Structure 1
């Protein structure tokens, strides 16, 4: 995975497992994860966002016939790693670059609409080098191809375009030696805006609470509130191959709120860039003052280009508003997963890991139900000023 995208990355919710007891936690949780894993093996679907990106990739490739513009792109990519394509076309020194500006602006608007994001989010399209190992090959004399990262993380090939408009097939099992530009979206920006859209929709439906100035969602104790803090965390496979760049992770924490309604709190995890790497975030994961019961679920997801946050929020709220408090804790995962369109299990967003029946007094290492990650947690009291 390249360092070009420090991003992607809140949990998608717990499951209607009847009569789940702590003693039978792992077998039941693993069974709940199965539908997601099986869905991931279904046929890949090409998202509308990918189609927009591919059209721009072909156009950018053709524009690189101009030596002056090609050099400007090369210098920008080598300097910044990831370049705002709209801003770059605005600074173009010749017509090959300036001619792209309107097409890029139109594509940005289309992508925002497809992802359910407001227009104020700004430009989306970015261009970057496919991998850091390509840097020595990106010389002034080189003629880079341009591609879009495949929507399927397990794709065996990518399609790239040269400046003559010809298509080339690239084997994804190894990083190419020749320079390759990847047209992508600013997933970090989209992710931040998307979580805001998700939160606003959840608040509107009574499934979450507005953020306070301090960031704590709801404090009921005068002296503070109890939380679960993540001390260390590792993901073995973040579902991101080399051509996708770094991951952008988030988790959804779910349970029953103080009003007896199901609730969801999104937790951004922007530091989880690499798999097989242990991180020590000291991050608050659960604010227990928001929950009626001493149990909650966590599902970790990896955000991808095609995620429509408004549709995601609508699916979650539709599923959870049908579940009522029966006077005892009920995990919520299966209810949510069954409401999701199949396409959300193929790429956007990707299911990474889940933790069931997390308690306020949980501590130590907790292995995920999927066996794809672990975290060490501890109870933590957040004092009120």
Structure 2
């Protein structure tokens, strides 16, 4: 998880950085379908149900032993027919809320909120159960007793009593979401840059040698982030192209990673220039909504015979709610080129990348 203040400050900074770009039309903000439940409300309801199962000693023992070792897929816990039915319904509701296909794939898991809670769990203290928050708002967290009673917890102080968190397994959700984005963009006329020409001659790419996002003191309830980048530029046909690049190694802020990952493949871009918008899925990203919004605005942009940065267009397309209650934006970089090299600071000051040109040899 990454600092909300840096993300909320990004828009004015980005506007300055792209003052030379053409004016872009204001997008129609895509909204959550009427009647759709939020991920937060779905997981909160399931957390209350899971808490109720802990009233039974055998179920409590089964759950606590499992979470003491690692986060557990809720589909793998045998807690009776009623809970299994509720879990299946919640799983399908989460898939819908995230714009993913409704399949049998399980996206819900439970984990121990903090390692410091292990000793109390080992002693047999009955844990509380809560839903992991899907935004960066500090304050009180609603947790549940096996009786169903609600307990308010301070998110800035690790409680002595163990807490189990019901959450979306974003490591599973992101690859599914990336496919939804690419398929939706393609269906609406925004292709990807992954179909590359000129492979027989080789091409230049940008390789990430090291990357770091700003250190921020997070509340104890936060887990790992799941980071992805939206790479965009003008294709060889003069139309905007978008790729989703998954970066699962970027789990924590304040940590330098050395991935040696290829980020931009320049064989697909007309001007040998591309932009990067880095995002995180902290549980409630609606990938279908994101793709529809990006497609709606990129289809209005035409090639003017010179490179136009697309960062602002993509950020303008992001639904307003993502900047207020749940800012999923992390960082962005303007105008990466085939010759980009060295330390590149992000436009919002929330991170940097060390990059170098990389020659991809012909097949």
TM bucket, shorter chain? 0.7 to 0.9
Aligned match of 1:319 in 297, 304, 319? Answer: 297
Aligned-partner SS, 2:40: helix
Distance (whole Å) between structure 2 residues aligned to residue 170 and residue 113 of structure 1? 29
1:158 aligns with 2:151: no
Give the deviation of 1:339 after TM superposition.
Answer: 2.7
Aligned-partner SS, 1:178: coil
**Corresponding residue of 2:288:** 310
Distance (whole Å) between structure 2 residues aligned to residue 239 and residue 336 of structure 1? 28
Distance (whole Å) between structure 2 residues aligned to residue 384 and residue 284 of structure 1? 16
**Corresponding residue of 1:358:** 336
**Corresponding residue of 2:45:** 55
Give the deviation of 1:346 after TM superposition.
Answer: 3.5
**Corresponding residue of 1:7:** none
CA contact (8 A) 1:238 1:302 kept: no
Distance (whole Å) between structure 1 residues aligned to residue 274 and residue 193 of structure 2? 19
Distance 1:334 1:103, change over 3 A: same
1:106 aligns with 2:95: no
Aligned-partner SS, 1:319: helix
Distance (whole Å) between structure 1 residues aligned to residue 334 and residue 37 of structure 2? 31
**Corresponding residue of 1:338:** 316
Give the deviation of 1:31 after TM superposition.
Answer: 12
Aligned match of 2:203 in 225, 229, 239? Answer: 225
Distance (whole Å) between structure 2 residues aligned to residue 289 and residue 353 of structure 1? 24
Give the deviation of 1:317 after TM superposition.
Answer: 0.3
TM-score by length of 1: 0.83
CA contact (8 A) 1:305 1:348 kept: no
Runs of 4+ in 1 over 4 A off after TM superposition: 24-27, 29-32, 237-241
Give the deviation of 1:147 after TM superposition.
Answer: 0.6
Distance (whole Å) between structure 1 residues aligned to residue 348 and residue 90 of structure 2? 37
**Corresponding residue of 1:206:** 189
CA contact (8 A) 1:226 1:360 kept: yes
CA contact (8 A) 2:343 2:353 kept: yes
CA contact (8 A) 1:240 1:247 kept: no
CA contact (8 A) 2:14 2:348 kept: no
Distance (whole Å) between structure 2 residues aligned to residue 117 and residue 377 of structure 1? 33
Q: Which runs of 5+ in 2 are unaligned?
A: 2-9, 22-35
CA contact (8 A) 1:26 1:369 kept: no
Give the deviation of 1:178 after TM superposition.
Answer: 1.3
Alignment of 1:39-188 (within 5 A): 48-79=38-69, 81-89=70-78, 92=79, 97-120=80-103, 122-139=105-122, 141-188=124-171
Distance (whole Å) between structure 2 residues aligned to residue 29 and residue 139 of structure 1? 55
Kindly tell me the number of residue pairs found equivalent between the two proteins. 341
Aligned-partner SS, 1:203: helix
Distance (whole Å) between structure 2 residues aligned to residue 371 and residue 196 of structure 1? 30
Larger RCO (CA within 8 A; separation ≥ 6): 1
TM-score by length of 2: 0.87
Distance 1:29 1:132, change over 3 A: farther
**Corresponding residue of 1:35:** none
Distance (whole Å) between structure 1 residues aligned to residue 294 and residue 250 of structure 2? 24
Distance (whole Å) between structure 1 residues aligned to residue 295 and residue 189 of structure 2? 9
Give the deviation of 1:141 after TM superposition.
Answer: 2.5
Aligned-partner SS, 1:311: helix
